[in-house]
Structure 1
């Protein structure tokens, strides 16, 4: 019965989006119904349908194999510190950050060779034909599945200055609802540890979540800010025409490694800052929790003591419940969802890794929240995306800034809807 709760979750999340819509009458039913239907079909094919599921498991095996190659580079620089068997245990900086550098370099090579452009074009064609959206919207949404929220808009750079508010909303929501390929690999290493079978399992689910969230982003974006303007006519949009900034494979590998290094440093800086800020916020909350009033509030909320993570768990427990997660698991998953939005998904996945290691949550809950966290829908990413888009189209800076929070909210709703739909098919 808890599995069927996912359908109720989808209805509630779409209802919340309608509540915050700028123009409910302008919402196109086709995008909502077809977008949800496409997510449902993708979930069935990728999670339960044998031939397609096996194909995705093969892709997951490749990701896991590539993950092993990234560790070779880390071993050369960090030596024994990069081995999970050393007395220090799991060290985030050694185990995860080198993966980002390697996969960023690999993605850069694939883009230089034109491989990724053709994959993106195929997915964009499916989205354009099924959802009835413009080519630029479909292309940007498809690119978001494979690259980051600041790189994907480069595919539509010539069109961005003239796009409508609704189109910009879709571009930004898609960026928040998905993750970059380089970061996906880092999540696989983080969640799977040194167990190849576990790595492959999480790789399969993360790949599935990325693909499922693409049509979901259309649903939420077009509800929150439906199209009321007249988009400019566009010529055929081809991702293969995107200018390549590298001259050969070696240049592409080096440029990708440099970009990966910047991303890895940014991830490390974000984690240091937000872990420290959460600890800072817990300090006064802990003091309040020692008072009689604080103890009463904690007992009413079902907490041992007041803390940011505990309060987030209480706040987001209903969202976890809508994904078919019950009991203690719902509170724990609610905490992860809250951390993922307030801080970063990296911090949430790090906490999930600890829960998995301690076996404090069920395997099914762990897989469902893996889907629900698979996106950049958090407050720090708002500034990152606004900055990246402004660099491409500075004349639209005010539009990006005005839509940032709404688009992030749309991205979060998309990820949660992906979790709800995945819960219908996950049996552990």
Structure 2
């Protein structure tokens, strides 16, 4: 039965993507089928095989060690601020982002990261049928973040037509940056975080190739990576330390605002209608949860968490999941965890449009115009990842 529901889920995602497609006749089926097969194969390897277990453990061990190092710095500055065993969310989950950001800066400075991004991007372009620029950008979004990635393709931004610009922005919203992965692993099981990273990379291309199909001519597919003026090593360190701290502060501020707002709205709805706002959203999203393979008895609660992620951000939703994780079926936890690992929420529209506008005002306005379509596509990517995981769990 689960495979029947999974097939319905795949058709549901493809159908909704086709509804928003700008040119259905140009949609190429072969690359989509290949990428779906790759998604199923990779998720099966990561979640159900000894090789996958070794890979997940290795990645988890690396991040655990990095978080230990990060906590050394956090403890030095904020030690004694919290009672033993009661470290606040900001100190325990968000501040380690600073150290991960530093490591990304070092790999970028040593030219290791650009080499990896170019290499993976080139291989991906052979699979997805899209351009080298689009493939590079998807990998770069995962490595350096949804705002910073546009700096690396700054030279091309002004010359990109709207359809290619859409694909670049869609990749930035569908993935998550490595600097924040450690924070996710503090809240979700590492195996689901890693699996989501891989699935979203391909899922972004699948959904975008349906919503926004086009071909890139060889003479148009020129990849020039923009490099900032050469900095000294310690200038770079200072910049990435501050950037990481800014991300932690911004996420923390958004959490304060969103969690408080959600509590107020829930209370208001409870007083007026004897039902919370999240429960209402849960009923709306319950059918989507069902086609993702969630047990019918859990669809409303899962739907509420899915909707929370969309209207607030993934951290708020992950906090809700962590509170309810023991009451959910393990398979439900896996599917929902994978769904939550992406930047697909309303706030990301402003973040991405602002990042592009800061580099090219005209193109930033273009991004703002198709912002809702971006969110629609990125949400479908998250649903697709959930459906794929439901097949192998």
The 5 A counterparts of 1:32-181 are: 32-81=32-81, 85-86=84-85, 89=86, 91-181=88-178
CA separation of 1:276 and 1:119: change in aligned 2, threshold 3 A: same
Q: 1:203 to 1:119 in 2, by over 3 A?
A: farther
1:316 matched residue in structure 2: 285
User: For the Cα contact (< 8 Å) 1:355–1:361, is it kept in 2?
Assistant: yes
Aligned counterpart in structure 2 of residue 398 of structure 1, from 365, 378, 385? 365
Deviation sequence 1:159-205 (CA, Å, 0-9, x none): 222222221111111111111111111111234xxxxxxxxxx2232
Between the aligned partners of 1:173 and 1:264, the Cα distance in structure 2 is: 23
**Which range is displaced more, 50-59 or 106-115?**
50-59
Secondary structure of 1:123's counterpart equals helix
Separation of aligned partners in 1, 2:218 and 2:364: 20
Residues 282 and 307 of structure 2 are in contact (CA less than 8 Å); yes or no, is this contact kept in structure 1? yes
Aligned CA distance change for structure 1 residues 55 and 282 (closer, same or farther; 3 Å): closer
CA distance in structure 1 between the aligned counterparts of 2:18 and 2:87, rounded to whole angstroms:
43
Distance in 2 separating the partners of 1:128 and 1:159: 18
Alignment CA distance shift 1:146-1:6 (3 Å): farther
Match of 2:309 in 1: 340
Does residue 1:220 correspond to 2:207, yes or no? yes
1:206 to 189, 193, 196: 193
Q: Is the 8 A contact 1:163 1:232 kept in 2?
A: no
Check whether the contact 2:102–2:244 (CA below 8 A) recurs between aligned residues.
Answer: yes
Instruction: Note the C-alpha offset of 1:415.
Output: 1.2
CA distance in 1, matches of 2:9, 2:357: 35
Query: Which of 251, 265, 276 in structure 2 is aligned with 1:267?
Result: 251
| Counterpart-to-counterpart distance in 1, 2:338 and 2:363 | 32
Task: Report whether the alignment pairs 1:409 with 2:393.
Answer: no
**Following the alignment from structure 1 to structure 2, what is the Cα–Cα distance between the partners of residues 224 and 82?**
49
Distance change in 2, residues 1:333/1:389 (3 Å): same
Give the C-alpha shift of residue 384 in structure 1.
0.6
Residues 82 and 136 of structure 1, relative CA distance in 2, 3 Å threshold: farther
- Gapped regions of structure 1 (runs ≥ 5): 192-201, 290-304
Of 320, 328, 333, 1:366 maps to 333
1:398-418, Cα deviation, whole Å (9 max, x unpaired): 211111110111111101111
Asked if 1:254 corresponds to 2:254, the answer is: no
* Residue in 2 that maps onto 1:295: none
**Structure 1 position 424, deviation (Å):** 1.5
Q: TM-score, normalised by structure 1?
A: 0.86
TM-fit CA distance, 1:225? 2.2
Aligned residues: 393
Gaps of 5+ in 2: none
Looking at structure 2, the residues matched to 167 and 12 of structure 1 have their Cα atoms a distance apart, in angstroms, of 25
Q: Aligned equivalents of 2:323 and 2:3: distance in 1? A: 25
2:223 matches 1:237:
yes
Quote the residue 1:197 is aligned against: none
Q: Distance in 2 between matches of 1:279 and 1:125?
A: 46
Relative distance call for 1:53 and 1:8 in structure 2 (3 A) is farther
